[in-house]
Structure 1
Amino acid sequence: MAVVLLAASAAVLVLLRVNLEHTVETGAREQALVVARLAAEGHLPGQLPLDHGTDFVQVVDADGRVVAASQNLSGRPALAPTGTADGHDTYNLGDLGEEHHQRVTTVTTTTPAGPLTIRVGASLRTADTAEDLTTVALAALSGLLLLTVGALTWRAAGHALRPVEAIRAEVAAIGDRDLDRRVPDPRSDDEIARLADTMNAMLERLEAAGARQRRFIADASHELRSPLAVLRTQLEVAIKHPDPGVRADLVEGALQDTERLQSLATDLLLLARLDAAGNERSAEAVDLTELVHTTVRTRGAERHPVTVRTPAEVTVPGNPLWLGRLLTNLLDNAQRHARHGVTVHLDTDGTSGRAVLDVTNDGPPIAPDDREKIFERFARLDDARSRDDGGTGLGLPIARDIAAVHGGSLTVLDAPGATTFRTTLPTALPTALPTGQAPPDRR
């Protein structure tokens, strides 16, 4: 603001000076032309009158003799220039007692007696006074304006940033154990209010993520504690039991529990890797048709027959090991709940162009209220069934996470007398998420 005011003030002073000097010079030239006209007509008096704003007049012939002059230069020799300034000759007027600035205008004319040079001096006292007064006024007004703008800016900025400071202080006070706190809402419709909303939304996501993590750790601890306790009991009994047959059965049971623990640890590790993967997607082309046939064929004999219906070829970008694990988990779940058979159907959606993989079993349908619960980690709809039949409760959550990492989805469809798990996957790898789109919720 100070730089702008300084530049504007300098421009005003320059324009004012130029305008005033032009006015003075115009008046002096007009009087010089009047004297020149009188000299040309032969009516030039010996003593010349002065107009308003004119300090002196002097007429000199070609030999340097003074022909006529104003009263204040009467009897004085011709003025001799002492130099040039601003394109005009300068004269020493100290003998006249004129210490202020002067503008001397020179006009040459031809008369019957020969050429004459007419010099008219006009005072710049008025221009100097006006410039001085304007400089003082501009300095005072600029200082006052600068102080006013500074005070208003300080107050406005402080008022505008007060909510930001409140948000910062609240965020700084939030620890890892009190994520239920929220930043204050300024209750305005501006960028700061949107910042507060964004911060509160982020805190809600952090609180939900922390709650899911704590619940996951608690569930994982519970799931690990039960087979470990059984395994220890079996081994302790096996050591002390005298019957070799019973001991062999106990060791075999301990081996089964060890395999269950190994499977659970593998699932937990895969979940951690999926959480770390985020939105990173593999660009490897996977022949989903061949993957379906290979996965079903390598499973060997099943409790219920599996029928596969696929088109000639469906290719998707992704990780073949993870996609194979997705199909394996869906088949395990279908085999667990089917009555007579399982159907795997792979096709391409003609509208969206996405790959659609349906795994259907003819078991009891899932209630609408439970269709999201089954995708929660360690969730089991039938608490009374055995753990051997019910699994670890991680198969479907892992399958949904794998689908989400590949940019797809896993849902349960309405089907009369059956349950269908539908997986949709993009057939082309997206370059990036659209601006402002949040990553998929892979709870």
Structure 2
Amino acid sequence: MRRPAPLSIRVRLTVIFVVAIAVILSFTGLALNDLVHRALVNQATNQVDAVMQQTQERFALASKPITKRLTLSNVGDVVVQVTNRSGNRVLAASAAIAGAPVLATARLNAALPSGLAVHYVRDQYTKPYLDVLSSGQAALIATPEGIGLVYAFLYNAPIAHSEGTLLLSLGVSFPLLLVLSGAIIWLGLGLALAPVESIRRRVDQIAARDLSERVPVIGGDDEIARLSRTVNAMLARLESASRFQQEFVSNASHELRSPLTTLLATTQRAAADPERADWAGVADTVVREGRRLDALISRLFWLARSDEDRVEVHPVEVDLDDLLFDEASRVRAMTDLTVDTSMVQPTRVIGDETMLRHMVRNVVDNALRYTQAELRLAVRAEGDEAVVTVADDGEGVDLATSDRLFERFTRADSARSRDRGGTGLGLAIVAEIARRHGGSARFVAGGRGATVELRVRRDGVTLAPGDPPTP
């Protein structure tokens, strides 16, 4: 079964706000109705004593015997009924209960201020009246026929009418308020979210066309403006990553094609005339180009994992002087070059030993391609950093543009470096390993030839994620 599409933020927020307003209005209406009810009851209760006093004063002035029931005017929300002392005959009553039988009788109760307690007469005749009366009070009254009883009741009909009018008003106004509030919220959210939708459409267009375009920044420093700047920063990173990826793939394809072309050409030429082919030379070429392919693929793989931060670092104590002495021994064993290690000082750092060893080897291998007679290695402690220098006596590099040599697939002389076995990735790996150890890599002035200076932190506190590269 297909799930329904989720509601938009505008719809969801509108519903949430309208429901919240409805709850608030409901509680407000209930509270208001209760307050009005209490106010009406309190007002009527306060009138009881005054009405009873007025009734007593009226009967005190009467001199003729009461031959028929008197009808008294309603006073506010209070009605009265006057009976004889025995409580079996109604002498007078308010107009609202003029036809009612005796509704209550009085009993002595010392706990009450008047000393009289109201006892309702509940039967089929009084029920219609008692249903709309409450809070009865009783008092003695002087009548032309002697002492009688006056009962004052709260007449609920006016109170109920007032409450009904209030509830009707609330019942009509609350839905109108909800509709009005919903419309205002809907329009307000539409205005507030319009820039966001504009940014979304713009980003959608940019993603489909050209990542070099940007979202216009509207406003000062509000949330929309900050969102626009953040989106532009993201687009800049995406553009850079896309350009880098395209260049990386293009360069990698070119670098891989070169040894493959050499392998294919060599083997095809030998296969065309196997009797006259120099198979020893073919084997040397295949081994050399195969090793070059292996080194290139290994370095590409390490750089790809490094870009994703999926590699791990294993920090231990590493003696950089030992690494340089090991490299010096390796170079002496495989070449006739002179290796100067007189400036190698005991220097210990916290880092990944395999990565640091590979960093040093890459720099040494790069220098060997240009060294004519002497290779100079040095390491020293300088404050919180360890400084490694590797210098050759070749043609040197242009320091003004030397930083580019630490970029991927960049060579000082592309054709010559490729002929000498370079991939254009060795120094890029060196710079990445140095960065992961809180340091840097650069070419510095050092006399004849080129001098590479590597700096790494000795305490390892800024050690970034990394992975031992494949040698």
Same fold (TM over 0.5): yes
CA contact (8 A) 1:323 1:402 kept: yes
Q: Does 1:79 align with 2:103?
A: yes
Tell me the residue number matched to 2:256: 224
Letter in 2 for 1:412: R
> 1:57 aligned to 81, 88, 94, which one?
81
Distance 1:71 1:232 in 2: 122
C-alpha deviation, 1:332, in angstroms: 1.8
Tell me the residue number matched to 2:432: 401
* Structure 1 residues 250 and 430: CA distance shift in structure 2, 3 A: closer
Tell me the residue number matched to 2:346: 311
Q: Does 1:367 align with 2:391?
A: no
Q: Deviations over 1:290-321 (max 9, x none)?
A: 762564255241534142534353222x3x32
Structure-to-structure mapping, 1:282-431, within 5 angstroms: 282-289=313-320, 292-293=323-324, 295-296=326-327, 299-301=330-332, 303-307=337-341, 309-311=344-346, 313-316=348-351, 318=352, 320-337=353-370, 340-347=374-381, 349-350=383-384, 355-361=385-391, 363=393, 366-383=397-414, 385-389=416-420, 391-404=422-435, 406-412=436-442, 414-417=444-447, 419-425=451-457, 427-428=459-460
Tell me the residue number matched to 1:203: 235
Residue aligned with 1:57, SS: strand
CA contact (8 A) 1:267 1:394 kept: yes
**TM-score scaled to structure 1, two decimals?**
0.76
Letter in 2 for 1:358: V
Letter in 2 for 1:347: A
* Structure 1 residues 392 and 130: CA distance shift in structure 2, 3 A: same
Letter in 1 for 2:245: Q
C-alpha deviation, 1:394, in angstroms: 0.9
Residue aligned with 2:103, SS: coil
Distance 2:230 2:252 in 1: 32
CA contact (8 A) 2:103 2:126 kept: no
Structure-to-structure mapping, 1:139-288, within 5 angstroms: 139-171=171-203, 178=209, 180=211, 182=213, 184-185=215-216, 187-188=218-219, 189-238=221-270, 240=273, 247-278=279-310, 280-288=311-319
Cα RMSD for the two superposed structures = 4.2
CA contact (8 A) 2:434 2:440 kept: yes
**TM-score scaled to structure 2, two decimals?**
0.72
Distance 2:164 2:405 in 1: 87
Q: Deviations over 1:359-411 (max 9, x none)?
A: 2315566434423311222111224635343722110111122334x353423
Tell me the residue number matched to 1:436: none
CA contact (8 A) 1:2 1:146 kept: yes
Distance 1:161 1:169 in 2: 12
C-alpha deviation, 1:148, in angstroms: 1.2
Distance 1:159 1:429 in 2: 49
Tell me the residue number matched to 2:43: 23
Structure 2 alignment gaps of length 5 or more: 1-20, 106-117, 466-471
* Structure 1 residues 431 and 109: CA distance shift in structure 2, 3 A: farther
Distance 1:150 1:103 in 2: 43
Structure 1 vs Structure 2: percent identity of aligned residues?
27
Letter in 1 for 2:442: V
Residue aligned with 1:52, SS: coil
* Structure 1 residues 95 and 198: CA distance shift in structure 2, 3 A: same
Q: Deviations over 1:248-305 (max 9, x none)?
A: 3454344333332332233223223323435x54244242437625642552415341
Distance 1:116 1:304 in 2: 138
Distance 2:288 2:443 in 1: 34
Aligned residues: 413
Distance 2:99 2:87 in 1: 14
Q: Deviations over 1:407-434 (max 9, x none)?
A: 534231543536332232473456999x
C-alpha deviation, 1:3, in angstroms: 1.5
